Amino acid sequence: MSKKLIRFDWAVKKLLRNKANFAILEGFLSELLFDDIRIEKILESESNQENEDSKFNRVDILTQNSKKELIVVEIQNTYEIDFFHRMAYGASKALTENLALGQAYSEIKKIISVNIVYFDLGQGQDYVYKGSTSFFGLHQNDTLTLSDKQKTAFSKDKVSDIFPEFYIIKVNKFNNIAKDNLDEWIYFLKNSEVKDEFKAKGLKEAGEVLDYMRLPRDDQYSYNRYLDYLHYKASEILSLQSEAEDRVRQEERLKSKIELAENLVLKGIDDLFIMEVTGLTLEQIKEIRTNLEKI
């Protein structure tokens, strides 16, 4: 048995910013980060978005946990070729905007960037990736570490603990086989369903709070409008892909016709026969003859 729930991205926009529902987001982040995450507060709503497309295609939320670390959760529905760059920008923006004027650099907060994407970002076989910063010696091949004094002063164990940390979940690459608690969450992210046997933190609360039938009528309307938009965007993308493929096929057919015409011209075949065989216009064939004469 499983229960059909509303999508996580819409829930982040509308429901999970409420302190009463923090347990859902805390559960997800705890399973992903292998830590007992407690959200202290939501620091901001979604970033300024220029148009209706960005408002629907992207969801982001900035939270601060009990360790004073900043966790950026970003959900992207449609393909963006420069999404890696936007990850870097988002982490940098969170870092700089949360360092007060006059504060020492040591007061910079740890940034954890969690990116949930519904397209195949980059090339790789896995569906969950983690990225962190380490420094390796070019001559000694050693790893740069913090001194004991720095560990005490910063309350950090490794250099990488200072720099932003990135997570990428490629939802559509998941094969729907949940082998652990994190997989149970990714199953939910992909299917908007929570199976009865799932034990991951936060999913029990998600099964209660994110039940469509429990939404107020206005929220049901808003959610249905959101789904309609996602369907529209999916159809639009499919149409654009189909048009691009048609153009490629037309270009390949034209190239084949031109190659055939060139061979026939070189064999001394007359233009009218070439036009009949290839379907090219007389002007195109004359242009081919002119180009061959220049070689």
pLDDT in tens, 213-238: 888 888 888 888 888 877 777 777 67
Residue-wise pLDDT for 81-101, tens only, equals 899 999 999 999 999 888 887
Instruction: Kindly tell me if the per-residue pLDDT of 152 is higher than 90.
Output: yes
Residue-wise pLDDT for 98-113, tens only, equals 888 788 888 889 999 9
pLDDT at 1: 57
Instruction: Kindly tell me if the per-residue pLDDT of 114 is higher than 90.
Output: yes
Distance separating the N- and C-terminal Cα atoms of the chain: 72
pLDDT at 50: 45
Residues of the chain with pLDDT > 90: what percent? 44
Span of 106-110, 124-128, 137-141 with lowest mean pLDDT? 106-110
Q: Give the Å distances, CA to CA, from 167 to 58, 87, 127, 205, 241.
A: 17, 10, 10, 23, 29
Residue-wise pLDDT for 26-41, tens only, equals 999 999 999 999 998 8
